Every structure is written in C-alpha cells, then in structure tokens.
A and B are shown apart, each in its own frame.
Chain A
C-alpha cells in the first residue's frame, strides 16, 4: 500500500459508455497527477493539479475530463473512448517544494480496456 488508492483496478467499457476513475491520496501531498502507461512506451503525463488547480493539460483529447474536488481526491471522467485508449492509468501525488526532488508516489493503476 503506497498511500495512493485507485479504483477500480480493472474496467472494461464500450466506446459509448461513460465511466470514471477515482484516486485518493492519504499522504497530505499538495499535487496530484494522471499518467497513461502503455506497453513498452514511456509514461505519458495527462493532467497535473497543484493545490487543486489544474496546471498541466498535455493536449489530452476532450473525451478525458479530470476533476479535483479537494487535495486528496482526483477523478478521471471517461466518455466516448476509442480502443487505442486501452492502457493502464496511473494516479500519483507529490509534495511540491521550492527545492529538492519532487518524488512521485503512485497508485497501482486502473487497467482500462475499451471494446
């Protein structure tokens, strides 16, 4: 248990479904992240929230919609996904400081399959 909990761990959805991924961190961190992990590819940063404000959106398609209601919770709302969106979606948190390493603590991920 890393202190970052993701649900569900596995999700299968059709292209017309709407679903949400949930992430909760119990570490008191001030930043939260969504990453996409595909086989044999580098982690792709999707969204960053720092102090509950979105500070990064790396040209992610609008069918992915993040929500950060407070510093402990992060959601990724999914709508009209494509089969190529099938991947492991990782949530992470960190305590951003003015100096020093920004070490990410990851959740175990939500494995998404789009049919």
Chain B
C-alpha cells in the first residue's frame, strides 16, 4: 500500500530551527508538497519538490531525496505564528495525492 510517515508532534523554541521529516512509499512519484494548517484555518501551500535537492523560500526550505523516499521541511528563526500543523503529500503515478497525517508543531517562548 501507499504510505506517508511524519512525526505526530514536535516542540521547538522561538528563534530556533526545526526540521520536520516526511518519508514516503508510493506507487510512482510526481512531486511532493508541504502545506501549513493553523488551527481552525485552511491548509495553505508552502512548497513543491519534484527534483532532488533543496528549495529555499525565505525562512522555509524543503528538501527532497527521491532515492530515499524522504523529504524534510526546515523552518528557521522560528516565530510563534509558526505554531501549526504541517502536512506532507506525495503525488503518485496516477497523479493522486497521498497525504500524511500531519505534524503538529508547538513553538515555545
């Protein structure tokens, strides 16, 4: 079957750096997405990786290794507003999105 694994919950300190990992086993690969979802709000698109390597976008970066079935989302200079759930999703060979259960990130002062 198809599977996306990511930690259920992580805690980090304001101003620090945190890395949220995502591993996947899917039928084919057509890209990996990260979304951010604040409590009670819509998930919003953060990043898309289809080739190996690091994509940087301000304080957020996303890394992909297709051979390892692995991605991470790196958040730098953490702010309290970064407290949210982070959803990893992979598009398989049929262009279906397979979702992880999300990682709840708690930022402490």
Across the interface, A108 reaches (CB within 8 A) one of B31, B35, B40, B95, namely B40
The reply to whether B100 and A101 form a contact with Cβ atoms under 8 Å apart is no
**Least CB distance, B87 to chain A, in whole angstroms:** 7
| Residue-wise interface mask of A (85-115) relative to B, using a CB-CB cutoff of 8 A (1 in contact, 0 not) | 0000010000000000111111111000000
The reply to whether B45 and A103 form a contact with Cβ atoms under 8 Å apart is yes
The reply to whether B42 and A107 form a contact with Cβ atoms under 8 Å apart is yes
| Residue-wise interface mask of B (1-32) relative to A, using a CB-CB cutoff of 8 A (1 in contact, 0 not) | 00010001000000000000000000000010
Cα distance, A101 to B48, chains bound together (Å):
7
Q: How many residues of A contact B (CB 8 A)?
A: 17
Q: With A101-B31, A101-B33, A103-B48 given, is the CB distance from A108 to B101 under 8 Å?
A: no
Cα distance, A84 to B102, chains bound together (Å):
20
Across the interface, A102 reaches (CB within 8 A) one of B40, B95, B100, namely B95
Q: Does A20 contact B (CB under 8 A)?
A: no
Cα distance, A103 to B45, chains bound together (Å):
7
**Least CB distance, A107 to chain B, in whole angstroms:** 6
Residue of A nearest to B8 (CB): A40
Kindly list chain A residues whose C-beta atoms are within 8 Å of the C-beta of B98: 42
Q: With A40-B8, A102-B91, A103-B48 given, is the CB distance from A45 to B42 under 8 Å?
A: no
Q: With A101-B33, A101-B50 given, is the CB distance from A42 to B4 under 8 Å?
A: yes
10 residue pairs from A and B, CB less than 8 Å apart: A40-B102, A45-B96, A102-B91, A104-B35, A104-B45, A104-B97, A105-B45, A106-B35, A106-B42, A108-B42
Among all A-B residue pairs, the 3 with the closest Cβ atoms: A42-B99, A106-B42, A43-B99
